[in-house]
Amino acid sequence: MKKSLLMLSLLAFGLAGCNSGSSDTTAAEITSVGTPDWQNPEIQQAPMPSTMAQPSYQAPQAVQNIPQPLGQGAQPNYGMPQAVQSGMKQSETVGNCQVIRDGANSPIYAQIQKGCYTDTSYTVGKQDTVFLIAYLSGTSVSDIARLNHLVPPYQLKMGQVLRLK
């Protein structure tokens, strides 16, 4: 190992001492840098507007669901979800909850209040999953599965009533 390292060092030293014999080492001078051919020379640079220098962030507005007083003898309607479509988002009311869905009909959990469903049972809607029901009720998937004797992959049927507590 030491012999090969010594030989390599001597070889490198010997090659470094070699000279091609020519002492002409003139470097090319660069006088100016032109515009590349692909760049339009008529484009003028403009300063960045001051409004772009600061990051802008608008906090999402909280949705408050204010319960309305029920008349005498009136019962709250916890039946099947009612869908309201606006643009690419859909909104449906499930009990006390507003469930917002994207264009692919997947729930947007960031826009849904966790634990907003407070009833002891839940009637499964068309696009509902155990994961959504657990999120709405503020419980875990394993608790809902245990209470309702469900096993993965948690196949639910529309109209099925699940115990939550």
Range of the domain at 97: 82-163
Dist. CA 84–CA 63, nearest whole Å = 16
Give the CATH number for residue 107.
3.10.350.10
In a domain, 71, yes or no: no
DSSP 127-145: T--HHHHHHHHT--HHHHH
In a domain, 14, yes or no: no
Question: Each residue of 61-92: pLDDT tens digit?
Answer: 766 666 666 555 555 555 555 555 445 688 88
Question: Each residue of 9-23: pLDDT tens digit?
Answer: 766 666 666 655 555
In a domain, 145, yes or no: yes
Low-confidence ranges of the chain (pLDDT < 50): 85-86
146 in Cβ contact with 160 (< 8 Å): no
Q: Which two tokens stand for residue 64?
A: 């408050």
User: What is the predicted pLDDT for the residue at 150?
Assistant: 93
Sign of torsion, CA 137 143 144 147? negative
To the nearest 10 degrees (0 to 180), the angle between helices 130-137 and 141-148 is 110
User: What is the predicted pLDDT for the residue at 130?
Assistant: 95
Structural domain count of the chain = 1
User: What is the predicted pLDDT for the residue at 144?
Assistant: 95
User: What is the predicted pLDDT for the residue at 121?
Assistant: 93
Dist. CA 81–CA 68, nearest whole Å = 18
In a domain, 155, yes or no: yes
In a domain, 16, yes or no: no
Dist. CA 93–CA 164, nearest whole Å = 18
In a domain, 115, yes or no: yes
User: What is the predicted pLDDT for the residue at 103?
Assistant: 87
In a domain, 124, yes or no: yes
